A and B are shown apart, each in its own frame.
Chain A
Amino acid sequence: MSFLDELPTVKSGCGILGILRKRDAAKIRAQEALGSIECVRFRGSKLGAGFAAYNIDGDNSHYRIKVFVDGVETLETVKQMLAEYGVVLRRELGYDDSGASKLRSWAALADAPSREALTNAVARVNEALMQGEIRGRIYSWGRYVDVCKGVGYPEDVCVDFRLVERGVEADLWIAHTRQPTNSPGIYPIWSHPFAANEWAIAHNGDVSSYGANMEYLRYRGYTSFVGTDSEVMAYLLDHLTRVKGLAIEEAAEILCNPYEAEDSGMGRIIAHRGAPLDGPFSVVAGYCDGDDIYMLALADRSKFRPLVVGEDGERIYVASEEAEIRTLSSEARVWTVKPGGYLLASLKRGIIHSGREDYELFFRSYCTHQAPTHAIDAEGMGYAELNRRIREALNNGAREVHVKNVRGQRYLGVNIPAGSRLHIYGTPGNCLANFNKGAEIYVYGNAEDDVADAMYGGRVVIHGDARDVIAQAFQDGEIFVRGNVGNRAAIQMREFQDRKPFLIVGGRADDYLGEYMAGGVVMILGLDAMEHEDKPLVGKYVATGMVGGRIYIRGRVEQWRIGLHPPKTDTLQYLRGLVMEGLVDAETYEELSREKAITYSMLEQRLQPKALSRISKLFINKYFSPPRVEYRRLGDEDLALLGGRLRRFFAEFHLGEQLLQRLLESEFTVITPQRKH
Chain B
Amino acid sequence: METAVWSRRRVKHLQEMSGAAGKTPGEAVITSMGSTGPPLVENPVFITDHLVSDGAQVTRPSIDPYREPIETYAFLAGGLIRLSLPLVVEERPGVSDAVVEALVRASYNMGVLAYLRRALPAGLERYAERVVVDAPHYEDGLGYAGVVVDYDSLWEHSALRRLECVKLLRIPTAVSHALLERCIAAGFGGVVIDETLPASRESPLELAVSDVDRAFKSIKEDGEPVRNRVSVVACSPRIRGSDDVFKLLGLGADCATLGEAMLVATGFREGRSPENMQELMENFILAVQKEIKLLAGAAGVSCVYTSIIGNRELFRAIRLEPSLRRRLGVKPAGVG
Contact = CB atoms under 8 A, between A and B. Distances in A.
B109 A573 contact: yes
Interface string A508-524: 00001001100000000
Given A544-B68, A573-B109, A270 B310 contact: no
B274 interface: no
Interface string A449-464: 0000000000000000
A219 B218 contact: yes
B314 interface: yes
A607 interface: no
A215 B71 contact: no
B67 A624 contact: yes
B151 interface: no
A182 B60 CA distance: 11
B126 A570 contact: no
Interface residues of A, number: 59
Contact of B26 (A257, A269, A569, A617): A617
B307 A544 contact: no
A270 B59 contact: no
A267 B79 CA distance: 7
A580 B126 contact: yes
Contacts of B312: 211, 215
A280 B307 CA distance: 13
Nearest to A244: B224
Interface string A575-604: 011101100000000000000000000000
A574 B60 CA distance: 34
A620 to B, nearest CB: 10
Interface of B: 24, 26-27, 56, 58-61, 63-64, 66-69, 71, 73, 75, 78-79, 82, 84, 105, 108-111, 126-127, 214, 217-218, 225, 227-229, 282-283, 286, 290, 299-303, 305-314, 336
Nearest to B279: A614
A648 interface: no
A114 interface: no
Interface stretch (A202-210, A309-317, A352-360): A202-210
A11 B59 CA distance: 9
A574 B311 contact: no
A277 B312 CA distance: 15
B227 A219 contact: yes
Contacts, number: 160
A622 interface: yes
20 contacts: A11-B58, A205-B59, A209-B301, A211-B314, A212-B310, A214-B313, A219-B225, A266-B75, A269-B305, A278-B302, A279-B302, A302-B63, A545-B64, A567-B73, A569-B82, A573-B84, A574-B111, A576-B108, A617-B283, A624-B67
A207 B111 CA distance: 29
A220 B79 CA distance: 21
Given A301-B302, A617-B26, A622-B24, A570 B84 contact: yes
Contact of A257 (B61, B218, B300, B306): B306
A292 interface: no
Nearest to A567: B73
Nearest to A511: B68
Given A273-B228, A570-B111, A573-B109, A215 B311 contact: yes
Contact of A621 (B27, B69, B82, B310): B27
B123 to A, nearest CB: 11
B300 A273 contact: no
A181 interface: yes
Contacts of B58: 11, 181
Contact of B311 (A209, A269, A544): A209
A570 B82 CA distance: 10
Contacts of A624: 66-67
A338 to B, nearest CB: 16
A185 interface: no
B53 to A, nearest CB: 11
A37 to B, nearest CB: 20
Interface in A248-273: 257, 259-260, 266-267, 269-273
Interface in A406-451: none
A562 interface: no
A220 B105 CA distance: 41
A618 B286 contact: yes
B61 A280 contact: yes
Interface in A55-114: none
Contacts of A150: none
Contacts of A279: 60, 300-302, 307
- Closest 8 A/B residue pairs (Cβ): A211-B313, A577-B109, A211-B311, A545-B67, A278-B307, A208-B300, A219-B217, A206-B60
Contact of A574 (B61, B66, B110, B307): B110
